[in-house]
Amino acid sequence: MASIEKRGDNSYRITVCDGYKSNGTKNKKRKSITLDPGLTPKQLEKELQRQAALFEEEVKKGTYLDVGKITFKEFCEKWIPDYAEKELEPKTVFRYKEMLQSRIIPAMGHLKLNKLQPTHLLEFYNNLSEAGIRLDTKYIALPALKELIKEKGLNVKKLAAASGICEDTVSKALNARSVTSKTAESICKALNIKLSTFFEQNVDPKSLSSRTVLHHHRLISSILTTAVQWQLIFSNPADRVKAPKTDKTPVQHYDENQTKELLRALETEELKYKVMVLLDVFSGLRLGELMGLSWSNIDMDNNTIEIVKASQYLTGQGTFEKKPKNETSVRKISIPAPITALLSEYRIWWLEQRLQCGDQWKNSDRLFVTWDGRPMFTYTLTNWFPEFLQRHNLPKITPHGLRHTSATLLAAQGLEVSAISKRLGHARTSTTMDIYVHALKSADTAASDLLEKALLNNKPQEAKAE
């Protein structure tokens, strides 16, 4: 039951008991309010009882935040379930939690929310820019690990099952590619071996990139904006701090000749990877959209693909389906007839795999699946692609670079920005302009040269004077 105490002419303090502290004393929550001096005694009593009831309900539900006492950490812990998990994508929430737990809360979590100043943020950003701040120490397997696997008669599939790691990540580790400490530890635990004997650290003493520092600033600013909207603070201190500068890195992509080399190299590759890469080049899909495709999304008769979902992977949650990135990402795009023909060939192979699997097939309609029909790990192409490029001596790009390659080649051919933007599923054409500004400028210059050639360089010569 709430108690009400008069503190001044028009101010009152409401107290509600919320259980007991560890020492046995009552845990009291207090809230001060100021009421309109023009209220009649009856109106005043009614308003006091209403405010007391509301406050008591907030305390019981755990939604009351004491503005003067709440720390930045406590507010973040409330912001995640009450805002982030309801409004943001699961992958974004996962990344935000990592940023908060690894750096932001350890550095500033103890500060009172209403005492947070721009100087605190500036000091934090400066610390992030120092060398040695990175937490992403990687591990590389020594040759002895691969030999041990052979001696034990294990394969990637068995080791993946024993360690609880997906097959692609295990394969990545065995091929001496960098993996996280968690992956290395899980493999060693499954094999009952010492980490230091079979793995070596790939220590990166570098500072965080300017873009990563900017991501921290944007997250903090978003959290504090919510605090302003919830009337816990009057203004956002992040608004009074200049956002960390970032250097724009050029978009990784292939030009026309490099893309042709890529297509030639794919001729000798496994069919499913060949389909993945070619489909990405000729559609410009995001990786999640590509891996989320089902056969029901493919119209073989009209050479079109409908993008209605995406595949995503999160640690602890596995692979799952989600809506595309934004409303404009739900779209239908055309693909060349030869790519449709390749999909028909792949469909025959896919059906054969399902038939061979028999009762073990998981009845998935996805284009890209594991041996038993389960949706393939979202980053399968990401893990396979670097090794493929190395084998064929091709320039390094990421699978996301295939999307950029598709868009850049379309821009070079003079396709309108609005059409490219729609095909890529961008929410705004300005996004397309920002990313592909160089390719668009190149196409514009080419168009100008064509007009010059057509209209200015073919003037009839003036007749010579006699």
What sign has the CA pseudo-torsion 215, 217, 218, 220? positive
CATH of 256-411, one of 1.10.287.1260, 3.30.1490.20, 1.10.443.10, 1.10.1040.10: 1.10.443.10
Find all residues with CB under 8 Å of 57, minimum gap 6, and list them: none
User: How far apart are alpha carbons 58 and 305 in whole angstroms?
Assistant: 50
Question: pLDDT tens digits for the chain (466 residues)?
Answer: 788 888 888 888 888 887 777 777 887 777 788 888 888 989 888 988 898 888 888 777 766 666 667 899 999 999 999 999 998 888 899 899 989 998 899 999 999 998 999 999 999 988 887 755 555 567 888 888 988 888 888 888 888 888 888 777 888 888 888 888 888 888 999 999 988 888 888 765 566 778 888 999 999 999 999 999 988 888 999 999 988 887 777 778 898 899 999 999 999 999 999 999 999 999 989 999 999 999 999 999 999 999 999 888 777 777 888 887 777 788 998 999 999 999 999 999 999 999 998 888 888 889 999 888 888 888 889 889 998 999 999 999 999 999 988 888 888 887 788 888 888 888 777 777 776 666 656 655 655 565 556 656 655 555 444 4
CA 464 to chain centre: 70
Find all residues with CB under 8 Å of 385, minimum gap 6, and list them: 277, 398, 399
Tokens of 184: 């290395």
pTM, to two decimals: 0.67
Paired sense of beta strands 199-202 and 138-141, if any: antiparallel
Paired sense of beta strands 331-334 and 318-322, if any: unpaired
Q: In what order do the strands lie in the sheet with 298-299?
A: 298-299, 304-307, 331-334
User: How far apart are alpha carbons 417 and 7 in whole angstroms?
Assistant: 65
User: How far apart are alpha carbons 288 and 307 in whole angstroms?
Assistant: 10
Name which CATH class applies to 138-202. mainly alpha
Residue 439: the pLDDT is 62
Residue 411: the pLDDT is 82
Per-domain boundaries in the chain: 3-61, 72-112+209-240, 138-202, 256-411
- First and final CA of the chain: distance in angstroms? 115
Residue 13: the pLDDT is 86
Burial 199-220 (b: 16+ CB within 10 A, else e): beeeeeeebbeeebbbbbbebb
Residue 220: the pLDDT is 96
Residue 423: the pLDDT is 87
**Any long-range contacts for 98-105 (C-beta under 8 Å, 24+ apart)?**
99/215, 99/216, 99/219, 100/76, 100/219, 102/135, 103/128, 103/133, 103/135, 103/216, 104/76, 104/216, 104/219, 104/220, 105/72, 105/73, 105/76
